[in-house]
Structure 1
């Protein structure tokens, strides 16, 4: 991967986009100063006060019950309404709206200009292999609201020579046993049309027997399919991998005390909430009922996460992911740029007060947020067993829980022609924008490769 040279037209677009970003940003700052003058300080103070009160009130909503919760909910609504009313009364509301619009244009233009500077595309190696001759597919007819039936996945797969086993929701089956028996009977590919939890169990068998896995995006969220670049709107397109149009990707597989995960393992508040029998029927009410004690450490285990020499003490939540989730762009949250970097991503959250909750708006720099990369992580607790959510499935595991990554342990067969992983936008860098606006050329390009993701950076260092 390297810097792509731009043609003259692209240079011009980049230059004017950078200038537009800087100009709009300057106007967004100057407008309240010039128009409001002395009141501009009150303008900023009012915005900060309103935002702080709103976030603090939301924290109290989550961490209290009864009268305090209702009062905090009223405050969470009243704070922004009060700020808007105050601005309107002082004839400053239009200043805020126009300034916010200018900032939005500045950010959009800046990211557009920087995206033209360098192409950033993670190219996962594709391996050409013969099409399977005895594929075995497991399909959950209820997954994703009935996508198996809606897209006629069983009939299409059987026309391509696959043997299909439909799960019976009224009679639960162990999909790992089904997959293992199929391989022992000669299956040379295992496929899953279902949720990520089911895919993880079958993936472990595929990795153990060194046969490829076919992921069919028939689940509800399809996070694993998204990061593989598969078509999530048309799960039938995934079946092209059963033909000569398929290729293999070698990706990592995570384990939490021997339990496989293709996405993540979660500990703490979320893992405890999903254990509740009432969660499936009423997620919001169950969450609001359980969170107060979980967030204030009155209920649930006291966790300690050890990542090498680093320690996260008493976090309310810890998320361990198979490779690293993006954190530099709100649009990219929940996505991974690659699945073959051989690392675990670790996100720890510790919030002990409304002030700590408010600081989370700082993103990756928030003091209560820990973002780390590791090969292994150990989660300890003050009790012999803890709740763990593994790819959305609720489990109870003995402590300590050892999480590890198995690099390139899984062969995934995908269609050669697929949408692909959305290309990430570069982080906003005002210093580079100034250089681009002044003169676009070799001197405006970065001297060093920027970091678009921790896993990508670590992968290149290892190579």
Structure 2
């Protein structure tokens, strides 16, 4: 365990004030400043580059050793990428809508994250690296997806002013009307699919949509290919990730049958999205990325011990 200064010396905290704003959550920045008075707390403004902020801090006379992030999954994912790039330990302070990675770490709220830092409990966490065509790899903490889910996320973002629940409901309806089959190819085989999910670490075999990882240390990717043999209703129903939602949808026979889902577990997964109606988006950790409408190649590779992160004190192997 590192010898952490209890006042937060050497900690840079980036706060995304827009994360979770639609839920009416209180501003937790004052609590961070109070509990870590020597930390540098930077509230990100709209359009500000998190990469440039971190690069400037690392190049300063007193560079940080810990990168803290107060925000949702998208902000945390980017901060994790930068922590790996600059050899920093990541401190997650959940402040978004879902906070999937924070929950996998066992950090339920900001106070739990600060307690984890003060305990000095650090673990090595497996991550994945996703690359499209010849682009540089990006760090993935939870999952990558192509097909129906990115379309749903894009619809939801266009309706963010309606709030989480209404916006999500309208987005689901619009995605249901517009969902289309995607042609993919892998190892010489072609297929029409509704979606492909690539999760970090092995996950619940009953799930199609893997938004939150189930392990911290397993360096594999768990892939679910939803073949387009059923209806659009099943394509959208398969995106449910809550246990209760899945149980209800399965009971009314809206979830796709097991025969429509192909599972692949490997350390390195590659797939080609073929031209002709190809989606121009994919999503990783809740963040949309634009790709070519003329098709693209996606590769996701597991990386063991890819990230150092604070977590509540316990046996690190208990979650792996």
Pairwise same-fold verdict (TM > 0.5): yes
In structure 1, distance between residues paired with 2:256 and 2:126: 25
In structure 2, which of residues 153, 175, 178 is the aligned counterpart of residue 290 of structure 1? 175
In structure 1, which of residues 341, 359, 375 is the aligned counterpart of residue 267 of structure 2? 375
Gap regions ≥5 residues in structure 1 = 1-127, 424-455, 457-463
Say whether 1:416 aligns with 2:310. no
In structure 2, distance between residues paired with 1:356 and 1:286: 14
Higher RCO structure (Cα 8 Å, ≥6 apart): 2
Higher strand share: 2
Measured after TM superposition, the shift of residue 141 of structure 1 is 2.2
In structure 2, which of residues 203, 214, 219 is the aligned counterpart of residue 325 of structure 1? 203
Report what 1:154 is aligned to: 32
Report what 2:241 is aligned to: none
**What secondary structure does 1:400 align onto?**
strand
In structure 2, distance between residues paired with 1:221 and 1:239: 19
Report what 2:3 is aligned to: 130
Say whether 1:197 aligns with 2:88. no
In structure 1, distance between residues paired with 2:104 and 2:231: 34
In structure 2, which of residues 123, 127, 135 is the aligned counterpart of residue 253 of structure 1? 127
Tell me if structure 2 keeps the 8 A contact 1:351–1:357. Answer: no
Query: Which is higher, the Rg of structure 1 or of structure 2?
Result: 1
Tell me if structure 2 keeps the 8 A contact 1:264–1:321. Answer: yes
Task: Spell out the pairing of 1:36-435 with structure 2 (5 A cutoff).
Answer: 128-131=1-4, 133-144=9-20, 145=23, 147=25, 149-150=27-28, 152-159=30-37, 161-168=38-45, 171-185=46-60, 186-230=63-107, 232=108, 234-243=109-118, 245-257=119-131, 258-276=137-155, 278-281=158-161, 282-295=167-180, 297=181, 301-304=182-185, 306=186, 313-327=191-205, 335-353=212-230, 357=234, 361=250, 366-383=258-275, 386-398=280-292, 399-416=296-313
**What secondary structure does 2:202 align onto?**
coil
* Count of residues paired in the alignment: 282
> TM-score if structure 1 supplies the norm length?
0.54
Aligned-residue CA RMSD (Å): 3.4
Pair 1:235–1:421, CA change in 2 (3 A): farther
Tell me if structure 1 keeps the 8 A contact 2:72–2:95. Answer: yes
In structure 2, distance between residues paired with 1:201 and 1:267: 19
Pair 1:250–1:259, CA change in 2 (3 A): same
Tell me if structure 2 keeps the 8 A contact 1:267–1:388. Answer: yes
> TM-score if structure 2 supplies the norm length?
0.76
**What secondary structure does 1:326 align onto?**
coil
Measured after TM superposition, the shift of residue 415 of structure 1 is 3.6
Superposed CA deviations along residues 154-176 of structure 1, whole A, max 9, x for unmatched, are 323442x21100122xx321112
Tell me if structure 2 keeps the 8 A contact 1:151–1:235. Answer: no
Measured after TM superposition, the shift of residue 364 of structure 1 is 9.8
Measured after TM superposition, the shift of residue 272 of structure 1 is 2.1
Higher helix share: 1
